[in-house]
């Protein structure tokens, strides 16, 4: 399937790009991690939902748009994404 996006005057950003991909491929695997001889996946929609949850938790603690934050995490995208916000 080809993605066809209308040209807009707004610059592309990671959130905008992810929203467009979710509209087409929301339930498909975005990330795969090898575990116990198999692969565990996370969908584009799950990735978006997790990013929104982390952003919400940061905002509740006083972070505002364009403020920087650093996260120290294990090297496991699935573990972080499938865990409720820990902040």
**pLDDT band at residue 28 using 50, 70 and 90 as cut-offs:** very high
Residue 83 neighbours by CB distance under 10 Å: 12
**What is the reported pTM?**
0.67
pLDDT attached to residue 77:
67
Q: Per-residue pLDDT for 2 more than 60?
A: no
Q: Report the half-sphere exposure of 26 (CA within 13 A, side-chain side).
A: 7
Q: What are phi and psi of 41, to 5 degrees?
A: -115, 160
Per-residue model confidence (pLDDT) at position 82:
57
pLDDT in tens, 5-19: 566 666 678 778 888
Predicted confidence at residue 3, as pLDDT, reads 55
How many CA atoms does the CB half-sphere of 25 hold within 13 Å? Answer: 15
First-last CA distance in the chain:
38
Mean pLDDT of 39-45: 88
What are the residue boundaries of the structural domains of the chain, listed by start?
Answer: 14-81
């Amino acid at each position: 399937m080809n993605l066809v996006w209308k040209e807009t005057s707004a610059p592309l950003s990671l959130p905008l790009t992810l929203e467009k991909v979710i509209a087409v491929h929301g339930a498909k695997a975005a990330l795969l991690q090898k575990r116990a001889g198999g692969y565990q996946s996370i969908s584009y929609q799950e990735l978006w939902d997790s990013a929104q949850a982390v952003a919400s938790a940061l905002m509740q603690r006083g972070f505002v748009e364009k403020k920087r934050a650093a996260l120290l995490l294990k090297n496991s995208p699935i573990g972080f994404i499938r865990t409720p916000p820990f902040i």
